[in-house]
Amino acid sequence: MSEKPHLLLVDDERSIREPLAQYLSRNGFRVTAVDSAAEARIRLNANAIDLVILDIMMPGEDGLSLCRYIRETSEIPVILLTARTEETDRIVGLEMGADDYVLKPFSPRELVARIKVIFRRVATGGQRVTAPDGANYSFAGWLLKTQERTLVDSEGVSLPLSTAEYNLMLAFATRPNSVLSRDQLLDITQGREANAFDRAIDNQISRLRKKIEPDPKNPTLIKTVWGGGYTLSAEVRKL
């Protein structure tokens, strides 16, 4: 990014919001700080935001609801701020598409490190995987059209894919029924390795499941192999 990345900080606690906004500003970021989800929605619609830092526990609309809205309407990265006792909320937040979470109380230096990790991922995530011979792939009633970079269902309805979703779907389609680790998927789709803070693949898998699985919470196509990674459990035809 040639200009300072624009962060939207959403936290109803002034004692956290204001010092954190100042710290982030001193560390090379442009920061807009608000105290509610309602105000955050206004800023998201009015400004170009590069990343959202979002407290889960807020009066009125909570952070999880706002996270869902952000993920349904954009691909802006989201970092959740959460108390140590809220394990369920952290899991739900990640399933909704949050890119990372930081436990309160936290070190501002740690938060900055996590922000930089996400921006490095975003900077390298624009590459597209090329299909061999421009082929299309058919599986389980779906057709992956590589020229249009869309998925078409059995009724002929096209679903657009983000760059990350397309790269991931093509990786699975060209390696059906093979267990692919997170490191392998990152290497195949983005040409890099995972790190301790990186949840990019998990979040992309979650979004892809919402598009192709009848029940995303009980996936039958893109399956998790515990300790191994993920696999596309389907017969794939190259067209």
> Could you tell me the mean pLDDT of each successive run of 10 residues in the chain, 239 residues long?
82 94 96 95 87 92 89 82 71 77 89 89 57 84 90 91 82 92 78 54 85 93 91 94
Any domain includes 43: yes
Q: What is the CATH number of the domain that holds 216?
A: 1.10.10.10
Rg (C-alpha) for the chain, rounded Å, is: 19
pLDDT of residue 132: 64
Q: Please indicate, yes or no, whether residues 31 and 99 belong to a single structural domain of this protein.
A: yes
Q: Please indicate, yes or no, whether residues 90 and 109 belong to a single structural domain of this protein.
A: yes
pLDDT of residue 203: 78
Q: Please indicate, yes or no, whether residues 96 and 34 belong to a single structural domain of this protein.
A: yes
Domain that holds residue 12: 6-124
pLDDT of residue 225: 92
Last residue of a domain, one of 124, 153, 168: 124
Q: Please indicate, yes or no, whether residues 139 and 209 belong to a single structural domain of this protein.
A: yes
Q: Is the pTM of this model over 0.75?
A: no
Q: Please indicate, yes or no, whether residues 17 and 103 belong to a single structural domain of this protein.
A: yes
pLDDT of residue 230: 94
Any domain includes 1: no
Q: Please indicate, yes or no, whether residues 105 and 179 belong to a single structural domain of this protein.
A: no
Task: Residue 141: name the closest of 188, 211, 84 by CA.
Answer: 211
- The total domain count for the chain is 2
Last residue of a domain, one of 124, 148, 181: 124
Measured at the CA of 204, the angle between CA 58 and CA 1, to 5 degrees, comes to 80
- Residue in the structure block whose two tokens are 């998790």: 224
160-166 long-range contacts (CB < 8 A, ≥24 apart) are 161/211, 162/75, 162/207, 163/125, 163/126, 163/127, 163/128, 164/75, 164/125, 164/189, 164/200, 164/204, 165/204, 165/207, 165/208, 165/211, 166/128, 166/129
pLDDT of residue 7: 96
Contact 66, 74 (CB under 8 A): no
pLDDT of residue 69: 87
AA identity, residue 190? Q
